[in-house]
Amino acid sequence: MISQLTITNYILIEHLEIRFHAGLNIVTGETGAGKSILMGALSLLSGDRADLKSMRNPNEKCVVEAWFSGDFPELNAILTEAGIDTDPESILRREILPGGKSRAFINDTPVTLDVLKKTAFLLFDIHGQQDTMLLGNQDKQTETLDVLAGTIPDLKQYQSAYQAWKKAGKALHDLKEKREREASEFSYKQFAFNELEEARLQEGEQEQLESRLSLLKNSEDIKIKLNSALEVLEGESDLPAQLKSITQQLEKLSSFSASFQSLAERLKSTYHEIKDIASEIREEEASLNHDPEAILASEERLSQLYSLQKKHRKDTDAQLIAFRNQLSEELGGFASLDEEIEKLETAYQQTESEMKRLANHLHAVRSKKTAGISKDLVALVQDMGIPNARFEVSLEPCAPSVSGADSVRFLFSANPGLPLADLKNAASGGEFSRLMLAFKCLMARSTSMPTLIFDEIDTGISGEVAMKVGRIMKEMAGRHQVLSITHSAQMASRADAHWFVYKNQEKDTTRTSVRLLSEGEQLEEIAKMISGSKLTEASLQAAKELIHS
């Protein structure tokens, strides 16, 4: 519950402290006194947008702070995740600085607006006239049904399966799109790979071919030069024979000096080396023949390699081989896409099956509870002055969404002879208010709700109906703290604590203040609400009867 609310420098409020009571807190006051300012201040704590216009003095900061007593797991989980110490009392604070910057704090720890919103959602629920009209929204109706039916755990199970199904569907869709994109390139890549594969590329082949072709084209000139070399080595001069003869002469002199023996051995080595060179030259010369067919074959092979390099923008046969290997990998990857798609399709079907199973379960549980909800709601609404009210929850199958596979519609009729129709088309403003209050009452009976804050929930009702609405509010306040702004004397008579909002005007300054009424002051305030600003014995007596009824 809200134990204390402090507001500083906000619209008409200079500084205000309110210590709310448990049970039903009623807020009344003259029109324009500033009752809605309290709602605006609490809205800031729930994360609503801050506005410089809301600052009473633009040169000073605006502060709204509230103390909440109560300790429960969901709140502790949010605070712990945000690095905030948990305590039986939580303090929410919102500041608007003169420059327009807004800051939020929980237990004096700076937090983001998102954390503030999540925390405030668990601590208090502000219900205004706009929220009443939201009841006509289908998403709001589904949310309300799940709260009343107690199907939130079933919904969460379904939502987990739904998200898994959506995730699997997206993965499958993305992979199929990838395959479609790559399919347009597949034919080209397959053709290029086949062409390179058929070329039987070998690294270094190009260099060898270029060298061989150069040799073949110059074979006649090379043979002439080789023959000239052989003529020198083996012609009339017979160089090897001369070297052999010199070697023998030096060997004969070896007895005179070891150096002659060394020279003889070196010449002998040279003799054998020249003999080998001459032999190899003869072999090279013999192997060289002008071979037009070999030249043509080499030229054609080189032309093929050059053409492939130009086509694929490569400079060497090594680069062509690397490109061929790259294509092989890419084509293999494309083939594996089909296998991966097949696996994802299986996963998608499995998640879809589980999602549908849980959707059917959620539908069954919801359907089981709708009759009881309708019965309880009609009883409350009839007690609030709509005696011919009829209400049904329609569940029709629809495409799966995050809220299930049910199209939830609240059907309502307030008058006999008129068929049930969508709530947004069948209920007037006053009927909407009473329906919303009935829903809130049912939720308060069965769920752990935060502090409930109502802004003129009694719009459009009076007399005995207002009295019954007041009793329902009192019933809710027996389980939850309730704050309600009202113009109804019948509602005000149910208060556990009655707060009066008023304005002080001093020269050119207007200030809004709030004070807790004593029993006598409450009696007089209710009497004024009945008869106007002038008190009469009749209005005082009527006020007493309301309070004690």
Q: What's the pLDDT tens digit per position in 441-452?
A: 888 887 776 788
Q: How many residues does the chain have?
A: 549
201-212 per-position pLDDT tens digit? 888 878 788 777
94-104 per-position pLDDT tens digit? 999 988 888 99
DSSP assignment of 94-158: EEE-TTS-EEEEETTEEE-HHHHHHHHHHHEEEE-HHHHHHTTSHHHHHHHHHHHHT-HHHHHHH
Q: Report DSSP state, residue 366.
A: H
Model confidence, pTM: 0.65
- Residues whose CB falls within 8 Å of the CB of residue 217, separated by 6 or more in sequence, listed in order: 295
293-304 per-position pLDDT tens digit? 777 887 788 888
- Residues whose CB falls within 8 Å of the CB of residue 380, separated by 6 or more in sequence, listed in order: 437, 438, 441, 442, 472
Burial of 427 (0-12, 13-18, 19+ CB in 10 A): buried
pLDDT for res 354: 96
Rg over alpha carbons for the chain, rounded to the nearest Å, is 49
Give me the long-range contacts of 488-491 (CB less than 8 A, separation at least 24). 488/458, 488/461, 488/462, 488/529, 489/526, 489/529, 489/530, 489/543, 489/546, 490/462, 490/463, 490/466, 490/546, 491/26, 491/458, 491/466
For the chain, the domains span 1-128+481-487+496-514, 188-336
Burial of 532 (0-12, 13-18, 19+ CB in 10 A): exposed
What is the separation, in whole angstroms, between the first and last Cα of the chain? 27
**Is the predicted pLDDT of residue 170 greater than 90, yes or no?**
yes
Ramachandran angles phi, psi of 522, nearest 5°: -65, -45
Q: Say which CATH architecture domain 1-128+481-487+496-514 belongs to.
A: 3-Layer(aba) Sandwich (3.40)
393-436 per-position pLDDT tens digit? 999 999 999 999 999 999 999 988 889 999 888 888 778 878 88
- What is residue 310's three-state secondary structure? helix
